[in-house]
Amino acid sequence: MTLNALRQTAEAMVKPGQGILAMDESTPTIGKRLKAVGVENTEDNRIAYRTILLNTPGLGEFISSAILYDETIRQSTAEGEPFPELVKRQGIIPGIKVDTGAKALALNAGEKVTEGLDGLRERLEEYVGFGAQFCKWRAVITIAEEKPSRACIEANAHALARYAALCQEADLVPIVEPEVLINGAHTIETSYAVTVETQRQVFEQLYRQGVQLEGMILKPSMVISGTECPQRSGVEQVAEATLRCLQQTVPAAVPGVAFLSGGQGDEQATLHLNAMNQMAAKLSLPWRLTFSYARALQNQVLETWRGDASKAEQASEALLQRAKLNALASLGEYAPEMEHAAQRGAR
């Protein structure tokens, strides 16, 4: 695949009016979410739930691509259709999470570095065989007293860049995800400073590793105050700070920025995305701004389904509605009254 082909895939992933469905939860993580709605964490239940997500009629109108987990990309629906084929049938680009999780960073208590580089070249070749066209790797940065350390930021930035280079070598578009966690009592000003430094280091390492920026997607966290901060930032403040951070750190060659929701509520994540796109329209920014949400798309799906097969269609409708609202937000065309109308329809 040439750089032009990588660029075309990356641009298709951030096509105007569409976003990315993150459904790459590990087996333990999805187990916690299933347990919360009274569903046992069995393979059959995981298949049933993921089938609801991917078989939602019309999903490809609002979702450009879907990030799968290693288990999912190897599985088929109960009817025997491989999940990657179901994704493609929906007009959605299939991708795969390839990191093996964040582990404790040596000599840096409370900080983590994401692992998974060992054997990655061979795994990427296998995922290409399954039909994957892009990959995702998540790094986590914690804000606390004397954190993050420079060692933590640099270790994660280096790993992200090495991963991205291997992806492009394998003709796969890398989603680069440096997540500054929302947990904590930090202010939006602290979030801004940490996010700027993190993203600067990430792009420095991407440059050093020879990654072609035209053939990648950035998946950052929004600049937002911590969940325990007594001075919570408003929607306009989050949008302004996040855009200012991007202007300080992200080269114009990057095709798009697909934000993670990072523990925000469903409506909150949509409001922030919408405000950013409304502001961006006045600034002529070089990148498309969209979403790559997991829980902010799936929360209502799980609450509706709760393991009841008779609720599958209703659960799919909940996903489609959430995807549509965020697609509108990616164009700056969302309004809160749409949210309230959707909630009334769900009831």
Q: Which of 25, 111, 177, 317 is catalytic?
A: 177
Instruction: Give the C-alpha distances (Å, rounded to integers) separating 327 from 28, 177, 238, 264, 273.
Output: 29, 20, 19, 17, 10
Query: Any idea where the domains of the chain sit in the sequence?
Result: 3-346
pLDDT digits over 83-125, tens only?
Answer: 999 999 999 999 999 999 999 999 988 999 999 999 999 999 9
Percentage with pLDDT > 70 across the chain:
97
Does residue 258 sit in helix, strand or coil? strand
pLDDT at 342 over 60: no
**DSSP run (H or E) holding 136:** strand 134-141
| Burial classification of residue 40, based on how many CB atoms lie within 10 Å of its CB (0-12 exposed, 13-18 middle, 19 or more buried) | exposed
Question: Any idea which of 139-143, 175-179, 266-270, 334-338 has the lowest mean pLDDT?
Answer: 334-338
Average pLDDT over residues 253-259: 98
pLDDT bin (cut points 50, 70, 90) of residue 79 is very high
User: Distance from first CA to last CA of the chain, Å, rounded?
Assistant: 47
pLDDT at residue 1, as a whole number? 55
Average pLDDT over residues 22-27: 96
Q: Which of 97, 112, 136, 219 is catalytic?
A: 219
Average pLDDT over residues 247-275: 96
pLDDT digits over 180-228, tens only?
Answer: 999 999 999 999 999 999 999 999 999 999 999 999 999 999 999 999 9
pLDDT at 70 over 70: yes
What is 145-206 written as a DSSP string? Answer: TTBS-HHHHHHHHHHHHHHHHHHHHTT-EEEEEEEE---SS--HHHHHHHHHHHHHHHHHHH
**Cα–Cα dist 138/135, whole Å:** 10
- Known catalytic residue at 177: yes
Q: Domain 3-346 is of which CATH architecture?
A: Alpha-Beta Barrel (3.20)
